[in-house]
Structure 1
Amino acid sequence: MARAINDRLALDLLLERGPLTAPQLRTLTGLSRPTVADLIERLRAGGLIEAAGETGADRRGPNARLYGLVADRAHVAGVDLRRDAVHVGVADIAGNPVGTASRPLPAAPDLAALVAAEVARAAGGRALHTVVLGTPGLIDPRTGLAGDGGVPGGRPDLGAALQDRLGAPVRLENEVNLGAIAEHREGAAAGRDDFALLWLDDGVGAALVLDGRLRRGASGGAGEVGPLRSGKAIFCDLLEERAVAGLDDEVFAARIAEAVFVLVAVLDPGLVVLGGALGRAGGDRLAGLVAERLGALSPAAAQVRASRVEGDSVLRGAVLTALDLVRDDVFG
């Protein structure tokens, strides 16, 4: 157990900091010289680390050997499956991007075959350890079955069908949940234990992170604010792109504030991030307007921020989730 803990500590340091020398590992871990020496030999024999050059050429005395991760020890794929397209990103175990692929969805595709082909194209012949796919709709956390998310050719057993075709474990996740994971790791919610993500894109939904953990709910429906009503209309209809096109920012912010108020009043997350294409496009100005209106509605204080994740946050969340899975399996 002690060896396993020490090995994982060293591997996580190499992930965070890049190649390190044995003396640096001793300083950072507090482990003894013999323990670090044994650890390095064990990880090299296991194919997890390798010599990555030397350091100390700019000073007197012998150079110290650097050790780094064997980045191609395993590869993962993240998939962002939208209603009109599929986007794939492949990374090595160190998190370095190694391949991408995108393709529009036809009206009635063989979805499992199409997605599998795009994943294989992005992988470029590399074997995949894990695939994480984000898609609209509820994903049952117990069975992994997908609900109707409006994706052409969608099927409840999409995960199992993909796994059969790819020969690698496949995990399905709601796309807004993956956006929240990316926001929590690298975006506007970094360093926060509690926040809600309001997703404003080709669909309207929310994701919840409480006590540092993503909360899915008993059936995968936590955060589904889209079907809630404001008067006689539902939020999905009020906040979708067609409904807000040409709206004054003040009016748009007022609509968003009503949806945000539901999250704040029930959960008190302290922070709401506006994500998706519309939330990102609105930026700090829209977030500020929503915060003003929310302050008049809610007794619970809450900050409102625009998304800070660069690029496709769903795809980024899928890759990050897949990396967590592969590292726990390979690194221990």
Structure 2
Amino acid sequence: MKTATPAMARAINDRLALDLLLERGPLTAPQLRALTGLSRPTVSDLIERLREAGLIEVTGEYGEDRRGPNARLYGLVADRAHVAGVDVRRAAVHVTIADITGQVVGSATCKLDGSLETLIEGVILEAAGGLALDTVVIGAPGLVDPRDGDVMSQTDVPGWRRGVVGSVRQRLGVPVVLENEVNLAAIAELRIGAARGSDDFVLLWLDDGVGAAVVLGGRLRRGVSGGAGEIGFLEVDGARYCYQLEAGVVRGLGRAELAERIAKGAFAFVALLDPGLIVLGGKTLHEGGDELAMLVSERVHERSPAQTEIRVSTVTGNAVLQGAVLTALDLTRDRVFG
């Protein structure tokens, strides 16, 4: 069994302190000692290292209401790095820019018109407003090949094809990662939404399209070909599931019939994975609210004895964008924080 080298121990302690500052905000040296269990000299050394690296700074003082010298508060240098989350839809591209603490500092939206890679680059730069970007994560419909990170299936986004992401990466000169948009929405549900605290769940998605994402053991499962969760291809009652839940079809359905159709897709995941939790996401399912979730729950329980909770998404705003930002922040923090 190998023991940690001094350099490795320092790196572990530094990351522990940085993660605590991310989670709790500015802290004093005594607070860092109490939360980490590290000694006074060790905390003093790591604070000095992190300040010299430009990762933390003095943000204020603590203890103004007591006698004696005040303790310095240390916080993350928010503008140490910035990331972009991008949501590519059939009609428009949406972008959110966040600093390394996760604070949103910019956004932009542009309708699809003309060269897709030129448009994506332009709306990202508009949202960034001159800020240098560390990482860009793009969410889009379709299967993403795990081998090369490029799209491997046709989508209904005009101009979307293999090579678009590579072109955007070359134009921006920073790491650009492509991910299926429902997978990113599932990341948002896992971290800040209805699945928070749940290691296993399936997100059923009904918005511009029909899809699903699978999270098991707290990790997103993409499958060998990136097709895990592509429930739209499933044949139900003699027709593809995606055709049964097209926007025009859904608008003509009553609440009970919609619940029945959703339950058939949910049951497929319950029977195969027994996830314990199904989250209903996307604009259509989110608007159905708790009433729709209850109806779906009743119909799923009629089909399976497995204990399965049905919840409506609790992510406010654009879940795909928020998942993209969270993913970009994870990648950037690993690079910047070590």
Matches of residues 251-290 of structure 1 in structure 2 within 5 Å? 251-290=257-296
Does the alignment pair 1:16 with 2:16?
no
2:312 maps to 306
Task: For residues 159-193 of structure 1, give each alpha carbon's deviation from its aligned partner in whole angstroms, at most 9, with x where no partner exists.
Answer: 21110111110000000000000000011100001
Does the alignment pair 1:132 with 2:154?
no
Shift of 1:240: 1.9
CA contact (8 A) 1:141 1:220 kept: yes
Q: 1:116 aligns with which of 113, 118, 121?
A: 121
Does the alignment pair 1:243 with 2:240?
no
SS across alignment from 2:194? coil
Paired amino acid for 2:201: F
Q: 1:296 aligns with which of 302, 308, 319?
A: 302
Paired amino acid for 1:72: D
SS across alignment from 1:139? coil
Shift of 1:299: 2.6
Paired amino acid for 1:46: A
2:5 maps to none
2:41 maps to 34
SS across alignment from 2:231? coil
Paired amino acid for 1:289: L
Task: For residues 18-62 of structure 1, give each alpha carbon's deviation from its aligned partner in whole angstroms, at most 9, with x where no partner exists.
Answer: 111001000000000000000000000000000101111111111
Q: 1:48 aligns with which of 46, 50, 55?
A: 55
Structure 2 unaligned spans of 5+: 1-7
SS across alignment from 2:289? helix
Paired amino acid for 2:163: D
Aligned residues: 330
Does the alignment pair 1:76 with 2:87?
no
SS across alignment from 1:226? helix
Paired amino acid for 1:258: K
Paired amino acid for 2:209: G
Runs of 4+ in 1 over 2 A off after TM superposition: none
Task: For residues 248-292 of structure 1, give each alpha carbon's deviation from its aligned partner in whole angstroms, at most 9, with x where no partner exists.
Answer: 111110010001111111111110001001111011110110000
2:4 maps to none
SS across alignment from 1:20? coil
1:87 maps to 94
1:222 maps to 228
Distance 1:158 1:270 in 2: 38
Paired amino acid for 1:71: A
2:3 maps to none
Matches of residues 129-168 of structure 1 in structure 2 within 5 Å? 129-146=134-151, 147-168=153-174
SS across alignment from 2:290? helix
Normalising to structure 2: TM-score of the pair? Answer: 0.96
CA contact (8 A) 1:197 1:207 kept: yes
User: Which moved further from structure 2: 320-329 or 156-165?
Assistant: 156-165
Paired amino acid for 1:159: V
Distance 1:152 1:143 in 2: 22
CA contact (8 A) 1:257 1:294 kept: yes
User: Which moved further from structure 2: 223-232 or 111-120?
Assistant: 223-232
Shift of 1:239: 1.1
Distance 2:116 2:149 in 1: 17
Distance 2:305 2:90 in 1: 38
Paired amino acid for 2:220: L
Matches of residues 200-211 of structure 1 in structure 2 within 5 Å? 200-211=206-217
Paired amino acid for 1:18: G
Over the aligned positions, Cα root-mean-square deviation in angstroms equals: 0.7
1:102 maps to 109
Paired amino acid for 1:126: L
Normalising to structure 1: TM-score of the pair? Answer: 0.98
Distance 2:148 2:70 in 1: 54
Shift of 1:83: 1.0
User: Which moved further from structure 2: 64-73 or 230-239?
Assistant: 230-239
CA contact (8 A) 1:130 1:170 kept: yes
Shift of 1:194: 0.2
Distance 1:56 1:210 in 2: 44
Shift of 1:119: 0.3
Paired amino acid for 2:17: A
Shift of 1:221: 0.2
Distance 1:202 1:63 in 2: 55
CA contact (8 A) 1:116 1:162 kept: yes
User: Which moved further from structure 2: 298-307 or 65-74?
Assistant: 298-307
